[in-house]
Structure 1
């Protein structure tokens, strides 16, 4: 008689399953850092000592761009919240904290260094 294979039981405290993290592809990382506002946000978060509120990130990114109206800054904050920061989070360059703040990850300094070297060479 053949043995039956039982799937792992998530309720079994003796059973642990480790799923290795999936690394984002290089093309996805390049897409994520292709926008200047995302690059500015990464640089700001790299310099920050602690997780930052989205409004603070927006203020820093806005300060580095051509000055506009308060409405432009609000649009930037919305774009960071709903588009730019989620793209960076998808490739693990930023992460949201439990309090809703945004923090750099261990990969952020390396990618910012690469971007700075590329900017020196190509800009």
Structure 2
């Protein structure tokens, strides 16, 4: 996250508007808080039209960087992905069912 900023609700809404990012965060929240990048890629397998390679590219190059930029997740050693400073805020918004965070269906 930008070092002196806290994440705004508007930024959270934007980050959580994408169903794949919501699934990724739900996957992390359902564990002890640490998952591998491969587990996140696998959690997106319900996207029937996307190949494993396409999901991996999306996770590595689109979703993780966006979530990391605002402190929602952090990448650790060995491909580990852990909750960041803003993770609890994001998950709380998901659990409240905010308008940005509807069903994971397209």
TM over 0.5: yes
2:82 to 103, 115, 119: 103
How many residues align structurally? Answer: 100
Q: CA RMSD in A?
A: 2.6
Deviation at 1:102, TM superposition (A): 0.9
Deviation at 1:41, TM superposition (A): 0.2
Q: Which runs of 4+ in 1 moved over 6 A?
A: none
Q: Which has the higher contact order (CA 8 A, sep 6+)?
A: 2
Match of 1:7 in 2: none
Q: In the alignment, is the contact (CA less than 8 A) between 2:34 and 2:81 conserved in 1?
A: yes
TM-score (norm 2): 0.75
Show CA shifts across 1:72-96 (max 9, x none): 1210111010101111111111011
What does 1:66-85 correspond to in 2, within 5 Å? 66-68=47-49, 72-85=51-64
TM-score (norm 1): 0.66
Unaligned runs of 5+ in 1: 1-19
Unaligned runs of 5+ in 2: none
What does 1:1-123 correspond to in 2, within 5 Å? 21-62=4-45, 65-68=46-49, 72-118=51-97
> In terms of Rg, which structure is larger?
1
